Amino acid sequence: METKILLTEKELPTAWYNIQADMPNLPKPPLHPATKRPVGPEDLAPIFPLELIKQEVTRERWVPIPEEVLAIYRLWRPSPLFRARRLEQVLQTPARIYYKYEGVSPAGSHKLNTAVPQAYFNKQAGIKRLATETGAGQWGSALSMACNFFGMECTVYMVKVSYHQKPYRRILMQVFGAEVLASPTDRTQSGRAILSQDPDSPGSLGIAISEAVEDAATHGDTNYSLGSVLNHVLLHQTVIGLEAKAQMEKAGDYPDVVIGCVGGGSNYPGLAFPFLQDRFAGKAQSRFIAVEPSACPTLTRGLHTYDFGDVAGLTPLLYMYTLGKDFMPPAIHAGGLRYHGDAPLLCQLVADGFIEARAYGQRQVFEAAVQFAQAEGIVPAPESAHAIKCAIDEALAAREAGEARVILFNLSGHGHFDLAAYDAYLAGELQDYALPEEELQRSLARLPKVE
Ligand SMILES: *Cc1c(COP(=O)(O)O)cnc(C)c1O
């Protein structure tokens, strides 16, 4: 019996799966921030290349992966699928636990799966530079690598507090030739507006998005690139689930439950959507669980409505579960899960009951992460550890029920740049934050009025 289920390079998928072809209800369309009417391609053209705008809205089931993108994917793809035999033993569960491991990418996470095609389609459109934001630095480092592969420039607006507290990812971006700025900066109007009110602003992802979008919109040779949330990002990530499906087949198993962590909602849809296709077709009855931090409980406690993607209100209004764009999540260690909204495609599937959502506090998440590391030898990213916690709970429930449940989760990245968080956990210094209902209501009361 195999522990590591591998595909050859020849078995790398050659098309991404577009769930818009099969899902029963599409989300309501994005709205223009000023007119509140559905955005058209011409609204997005100043910051995105036409090919990615097309991928946002296409209903074609399969979108071919260009050969130039496949050539770079082959540096680490197909990624391995593991059977977590040692974890199963520790848990004494009859469940069979599988995980797809995206930490083998040179950026250490799934984010390179979309960074590469985004850089490629921009390069094809004659764009010379990409501007983006990054929180803890995972997305910024992935895009820096991708731009470097295609000989493009990259400007990364990095949330100021992370810029100073987490130097290693900044250095990684600089190794790949990116310009990394501590946001808020004085380069953009959005940044200057924040600095004039609060010169010591620690920054936030929402502010950094405003700066990167403004940079792209005001420079003809520059586009904007987003690492999650948008339809084309989720599309690119389906390479994860397509491989996982082929690997599960090789293992002679099919998942009863498919689990992943959600920040903006890209790695989890990447794994889940190809399996959801079987569910829509009536070929399988798998359950789907999206896991988020209880400190930033977008899917479990947010509202399903229109909201901006950024703080300044420059982005289109997206129909999604949101905590309100001004929501300031506490500084939990899973920096990649602190976004106020989630991908509209994922949100629609949650609203329609295909995907359930669960939230966990960070202490129980780190406990699961350490248990996993000691059993399987991989130190997971704190984000990914949310999925691990849920997988362990499912395995324990299977033990209670005496059921040979098949569990599949996405291990979206490794935690080698997050060891300070493990240090805090081991020293007993990690805190759980319960989000008070009043605070949530205050934030939701400021949602933009659409109707
Ligand atoms: C960014 C990140 C996430 C969260 O982003 P999604 O878009 O929800 O996938 C999860 N895991 C890792 C390792 C990340 O870097």
Model pLDDT for residues 165-179, shown as the tens digit of each residue:
889 999 999 999 999
- pLDDT band (50, 70, 90) for residue 52: very high
Amino acid 79 reads S
Q: For position 195, what pLDDT does the model report?
A: 96
Measured distance CA(61)–CA(379) in Å, rounded: 36
**Residues whose beta carbon lies within 6 Å of some atom of ligand 1:** 109, 111, 138, 228, 261-267, 336-337, 381, 383-384, 412-413
Q: Is the pLDDT of residue 6 over 80?
A: yes
Q: For position 451, what pLDDT does the model report?
A: 66
CB atoms within 10 A of CB 157: 33
Q: For position 375, what pLDDT does the model report?
A: 98
Of 329 and 308, the structure prediction assigns the larger pLDDT to 308
Closest CA to 298 of 205, 186, 162: 205
Q: For residue 74, how far is its CA from the centre of ligand 1 (angstroms)?
A: 21
Measured distance CA(116)–CA(130) in Å, rounded: 12
- pLDDT band (50, 70, 90) for residue 331: confident
Give the position, in ligand 1's atom list, of the atom nearest the Cα of 111. Answer: 15
| Contacting residues for 448 by C-beta, under 8 A, at least 6 apart | 306, 307, 308, 313, 317
Q: For position 307, what pLDDT does the model report?
A: 95
Q: For residue 441, how far is its CA from the centre of ligand 1 (angstroms)?
A: 26
User: What proportion of the chain, given as a percentage, has pLDDT over 90?
Assistant: 90
Of 329 and 324, the structure prediction assigns the larger pLDDT to 324
Q: Are strands 15-17 and 4-5 parallel, antiparallel or unpaired?
A: unpaired
Decide: residue 214, CB within 10 A, 0-12 exposed, 13-18 middle, 19+ buried.
buried
Give the position, in ligand 1's atom list, of the atom nearest the Cα of 229. Answer: 7
Give the single-character DSSP code of 230: S
* Tokens read off for 269: 């849809």
- 71-87, pLDDT tens digit by residue? 999 999 999 999 999 99
Q: For residue 338, how far is its CA from the centre of ligand 1 (angstroms)?
A: 10
Pocket test for ligand 1, best of 138, 173, 345 (most atoms within 8 A of CB): 138
The whole-chain average pLDDT of the chain stands at 95
**pTM beyond cutoff 0.85:** yes
For ligand 1, atom 1, the nearest C-alpha belongs to: 336
Architecture in CATH for domain 77-108+232-444: 3-Layer(aba) Sandwich (3.40)
Q: For residue 233, how far is its CA from the centre of ligand 1 (angstroms)?
A: 12
CB atoms within 10 A of CB 193: 14
Q: For position 334, what pLDDT does the model report?
A: 77
Choose the CATH number for 45-65+111-227 among 3.40.50.620, 3.40.50.970, 3.40.50.1100, 3.40.50.300. 3.40.50.1100
- pLDDT band (50, 70, 90) for residue 184: very high
Q: For position 336, what pLDDT does the model report?
A: 77
- 344-386, pLDDT tens digit by residue? 999 999 999 999 999 999 999 999 999 999 999 999 999 999 9
Q: For position 135, what pLDDT does the model report?
A: 87
Q: Is the pLDDT of residue 144 over 80?
A: yes
Closest CA to 89 of 392, 363, 409: 392
Q: For residue 265, how far is its CA from the centre of ligand 1 (angstroms)?
A: 8
Asked whether the beta carbons of 369 and 398 are under 8 A apart, the reply is: no
Q: What is the dihedral of CA 216, 219, 220, 224, to 10 degrees?
A: -10
Q: For residue 334, how far is its CA from the centre of ligand 1 (angstroms)?
A: 9
Q: Is the pLDDT of residue 38 over 90?
A: yes
- 190-238, pLDDT tens digit by residue? 999 999 999 999 888 888 999 999 999 999 999 999 999 999 999 999 9
Domain boundaries, the chain: 45-65+111-227, 77-108+232-444
What integer is the mean pLDDT of 51-61?
A: 97
